[in-house]
Structure 1
Amino acid sequence: MIVIDLPGLVPNGEYRSRRREVITDTAGVPVAELSVAPPLYIARTIAAQRKATALPVDQRRIALARAGAAFVDSTVAGLDFESYVQLASRVSGLPIAVARTQAIEVSEAVGVAFDSVQPARPVGAVPDWAAVPPGQAGAIWSRRGEVFGVHASGNAPGVHGLWPQALALGYRVAIRPSRREPFTAHRLVTALRNNGFRDDDVTYLPTDHAGADEIIRSADLALVYGGDDVVAKYGGNPNVFVNGPGRTKIVLTADQDWRAHLDVIVDSIARLGGMACVNTTAVLVEADAAGLAAAIAQRLRTIEALPADDERAVLPTQPLANAEAIARRVAARAAGTTALLGAEQIVADLGDGRAALRPAVHLLAGPDPEKLGTELPFPCVWIAPWARAAGVAVLRNSLVVGAFTEDDSLVTALLEEPTIANVYRGPVPTYYTATGLPHDGFLADFLMRTKGFVRRG
């Protein structure tokens, strides 16, 4: 087995450090070796990026389109697309068909990144002061900084479809790849450099926690992904855009027959291996919560546990010890609930050091916010009865709420709740996305501001 070399990608080319980190797949087999950049080197790298001026707009547009296509169509850093997908699946545990689909979506997102930022631009603002006629005043859409740092997550390739929007806006970008899945970031940064972006424009900086903190300090603005610990660490920093747990939910009111929506509900729970922040992890039901829970469990228990490299695989895999730890966490959190698919059946030992994670379904006696806020990297859902009179309090802090209801006032209340990022009404899967649809707001809302401009000559 050849261990792949993943050097840093920096302003003067490639960076290889004495300190290396071995990346293994979920069976514990070494597949790659990362060069770990120290904090001082990271600070110097970002300082060099800051000195570079933004590429002209037309060059950025063309480079993004070419890089998006090359991500799928070309051999990049010695790997063709299918070889890369296999590696990403092996190390992340994401089913290979899901990894492939998400990688294609990354390619598409990069190709349209320039167009994707435009819906965020205020209608009264222009991106170039030259568009303001002499003798008039106007608003200019302007960057809030020059260098954007990214702490990427490794649960799925799809997270890399967002940050290229910063390149579209003229930022220089420094990526800290996840050590769990470093291949997508490396392939994308290489494709961007091969297709019109300069080495100064986008860098790839594998590093440890100290180096990660240095990226935050050195960059003007940053995007981080993670759990509650990441939210606690960075949530108070106005220069950091935190993508924390999704805690995505579905609510069904009594005017709905859940049987008509069962396909969408189950799909929202299990699609993408249940690993994404947009997967449904809680369902609130105004009528017959027990019946819906039983039907969901019946559907999910039929999913076969397969290795991630099987094209039929739906469930994610983890090292056996990790899977057992997840099952113990579910068991502890499930105390006092009715287990329809409980912790004892989650771990499906595949016999090679890996385990697939079978779905878990629990019925609550009432809408317990702590249990309903539990989010784990596999199809795990908590179902509870809910009354409209209780309001939307238990639905707060959700990335997506799928609302199956005829009640317009409920939809209004969900949209007016500040801690709910997105509301999908009707039979729309919670993982749905589209160009121009914000994820957790538009990234450009964070990256840009408007400035007043008066032109007298």
Structure 2
Amino acid sequence: MNELIPLDALGADGLYRTRTRQRVHDVTGGEVAELTLVPRLFVARTMSALRRARSLPADERIAALARTATTFTTAGINGHSLAQYQDIVSRVSGMGISAVRSSTEMIAEAARLARHSVLQGRPVGAAGDLSDPARRDPTAAWTRRGDVFAVHAAGNHPATHALWLEALALGYRVALRPSGREPFTPHRLVGALRASGFGDDQVVLLPTDHETADEILREADLGMVYGGQDVVDKYRNDTHVLPQGPGRSKILITADVDWHEHLDTIVDSVVGQGGTACTNATAVLIEGDPAPLARALSERLAAIPSLSPQDDRALLPVRPVRSARAVEELLLSKAAGTRPWLGGDGVVDELPSGGAVLRPAVHQVDRPDAEQVGVELPFPCVWVAPWSYEAGTSPLRNTLVLNVATRDERLIGDLVSEPTVANVYLGRRPTHWYAPGVPHDGYLSDFLMRTKAVVREARDQERAPHRAGPADGSSQGRSRRSITTHAAE
């Protein structure tokens, strides 16, 4: 029997191990690691240490993040090389090893381009540096809403960890609660950050049970939480927590374009990166008869082989058999009354080596506002629906990424203006496309930062002889010319 990998908490004073641990399993059911679970008191002490700490100066933070990109992709961390880490993540998450490798590069790129990413979200009128002598006109300061940021991380895809690095770039101290499903990526990333210049009191890893997890959010100034619709509903009205829920990403094709020319993009949007991300397409709406597209899409997806996640050719996600069967049961219940093109009899394909592939599913619905259009499942599952101009933008609401294939500029404008559509991609751009500096669900800095005025008297007035003001001590007679030069640390 192989020795279990110890995954210790990474507190403000270094490594911390408790007797309370959670076993981490791979997709075959085998035990791989033991994850330390920290108690409530340790969380409270660690969060207090983060609050007492001072952030690194801005240039040092950016330089440390740039070094992290190299450390994360080259160094041995927690006793594992990069290749060993990627192999473990593939075995545990069930993602194809190629997708794990590309996620590694996405995280590294986010760290390397952190300065670019955060500046993209800064208001153009805000000062960039308090000491910049050029900033002498009235302007605004871009400042943090707090000092400590908590993240309840997702376990569905390693690349989700690229986003919260922006909080470090902005000067937040970060407390990260990893997912018990895939804790290896956050553990390696925090280790890389610390090896690259961030102190133990700047970024911590706090594995906890679900009850204690809420304590991390309560002790932080702001937080970000990943989860399903229940998580979104729980924190919908909490201005201190940013929920990251289902993406319900979609594709729209109008009759003035040939859908055959976009089939590659549709397939990639559905199955790329394992088909498990919130940016994977879960619905395709087409003007006219959806059947020909549904048939062609199902033929392409059916040709994808069922492979172990460690196979370089693997595209489809793998889960423990019991978990896969639960997803299949949910699919079949949601698909009742639809026309199945693929997966109508089930999607589970058990592997001889253990675990089960979740094969793609394609179902056709009879109207654009069918309930299934808003159903997102954690594997390549897509609902194909008819759409018309009479239906308008309503069926496309509540969409994280909407790919649009059309020549109708007015329709594009309407979709860009729709408040509940977060991103609009045009033409042959898959819905899971990502680049640092491009908003995911808005800029993270929209949540983390605010603008404020910082007003000073003009220097020539400061050097002028003092003039006594009115007896009440008001500032009558003083110059109101002012400057604002402060920005985030």
TM-score, shorter chain, exceeding 0.5:
yes
Q: TM-score range by the shorter chain?
A: over 0.9
Instruction: Give the Cα–Cα distance (whole angstroms) in 1 for the partners of residues 282 and 243 of structure 2.
Output: 20
Instruction: Give the Cα–Cα distance (whole angstroms) in 2 for the partners of residues 332 and 294 of structure 1.
Output: 22
Cα deviation, residue 44, structure 1: 1.5
Q: Indicate yes or no: 2:272 matched with 1:271.
A: yes
CA RMSD of aligned residues (A): 1.3
Instruction: Give the Cα–Cα distance (whole angstroms) in 2 for the partners of residues 110 and 343 of structure 1.
Output: 42
Instruction: Give the Cα–Cα distance (whole angstroms) in 2 for the partners of residues 134 and 202 of structure 1.
Output: 32
Q: How does 1:71-220 map to 2 (within 5 A)?
A: 71-131=72-132, 136-220=137-221
Q: Indicate yes or no: 2:28 matched with 1:31.
A: no
Cα deviation, residue 352, structure 1: 4.0
Kindly tell me: are residues 348 and 451 of structure 1, through their superposed partners in 2, closer, same or farther at Cα, counting changes over 3 Å?
same
* Matched position secondary structure for 2:425: strand
> Is 2:142–2:452's contact at 8 Å kept on the other side of the alignment?
yes
Q: How does 1:309-348 map to 2 (within 5 A)?
A: 309-348=310-349
Instruction: Give the Cα–Cα distance (whole angstroms) in 2 for the partners of residues 119 and 8 of structure 1.
Output: 33
The amino acid across from 2:155 in the alignment is G
Gaps of 5+ in 1: none
Moved more, 376-385 or 32-41: 32-41
Kindly tell me: are residues 3 and 272 of structure 1, through their superposed partners in 2, closer, same or farther at Cα, counting changes over 3 Å?
same
* Matched position secondary structure for 2:131: helix
Cα deviation, residue 132, structure 1: 6.2
Kindly tell me: are residues 133 and 426 of structure 1, through their superposed partners in 2, closer, same or farther at Cα, counting changes over 3 Å?
closer
Equivalent residue number for residue 298 of structure 2:
297
Gaps of 5+ in 2: 460-489
The amino acid across from 2:18 in the alignment is S
Equivalent residue number for residue 306 of structure 1:
307
Instruction: Give the Cα–Cα distance (whole angstroms) in 2 for the partners of residues 119 and 287 of structure 1.
Output: 39
* Matched position secondary structure for 1:344: coil
Instruction: Give the Cα–Cα distance (whole angstroms) in 2 for the partners of residues 222 and 445 of structure 1.
Output: 13
Q: Indicate yes or no: 2:403 matched with 1:367.
A: no
Equivalent residue number for residue 402 of structure 1:
403
The amino acid across from 1:213 in the alignment is D
The amino acid across from 2:223 in the alignment is A
Kindly tell me: are residues 97 and 135 of structure 1, through their superposed partners in 2, closer, same or farther at Cα, counting changes over 3 Å?
closer
Kindly tell me: are residues 193 and 116 of structure 1, through their superposed partners in 2, closer, same or farther at Cα, counting changes over 3 Å?
same
* Matched position secondary structure for 1:232: helix
Instruction: Give the Cα–Cα distance (whole angstroms) in 1 for the partners of residues 60 and 225 of structure 2.
Output: 27
TM-superposition CA deviations, 1:359-388 (whole Å, max 9, x none)? 000011112342011111111000011111
Q: Indicate yes or no: 2:456 matched with 1:455.
A: yes
Number of aligned residue pairs: give it.
Answer: 457
Moved more, 62-71 or 233-242: 233-242
* Matched position secondary structure for 1:110: helix
* Matched position secondary structure for 2:382: strand
* Matched position secondary structure for 2:233: helix
> Is 1:134–1:455's contact at 8 Å kept on the other side of the alignment?
no
Equivalent residue number for residue 260 of structure 2:
259
The amino acid across from 2:144 in the alignment is R
Instruction: Give the Cα–Cα distance (whole angstroms) in 2 for the partners of residues 362 and 135 of structure 1.
Output: 61
Equivalent residue number for residue 240 of structure 2:
239
Instruction: Give the Cα–Cα distance (whole angstroms) in 2 for the partners of residues 401 and 105 of structure 1.
Output: 21
* Matched position secondary structure for 1:254: coil
Cα deviation, residue 136, structure 1: 4.7
Larger radius of gyration: 2
Cα deviation, residue 118, structure 1: 0.4
* Matched position secondary structure for 2:252: strand
Cα deviation, residue 343, structure 1: 4.0
Cα deviation, residue 131, structure 1: 2.9
Equivalent residue number for residue 425 of structure 2:
424
> Is 2:343–2:359's contact at 8 Å kept on the other side of the alignment?
no
> Is 2:109–2:436's contact at 8 Å kept on the other side of the alignment?
no
Q: Indicate yes or no: 2:442 matched with 1:441.
A: yes
> Is 1:132–1:138's contact at 8 Å kept on the other side of the alignment?
no
Moved more, 122-131 or 213-222: 122-131
Cα deviation, residue 107, structure 1: 1.2
> Is 1:23–1:179's contact at 8 Å kept on the other side of the alignment?
yes
> Is 2:127–2:135's contact at 8 Å kept on the other side of the alignment?
no
Cα deviation, residue 441, structure 1: 0.4
State the TM-score, normalizing by the size of structure 2. 0.92
The amino acid across from 1:229 in the alignment is D
> Is 1:64–1:114's contact at 8 Å kept on the other side of the alignment?
no
Percent identity, aligned pairs only? Answer: 51
TM-superposition CA deviations, 1:243-301 (whole Å, max 9, x none)? 11000000011111111111111111111111011111000010231100000001000
> Is 2:332–2:346's contact at 8 Å kept on the other side of the alignment?
no
State the TM-score, normalizing by the size of structure 1. 0.98
* Matched position secondary structure for 2:223: strand
Cα deviation, residue 345, structure 1: 3.6
Instruction: Give the Cα–Cα distance (whole angstroms) in 1 for the partners of residues 35 and 223 of structure 2.
Output: 22
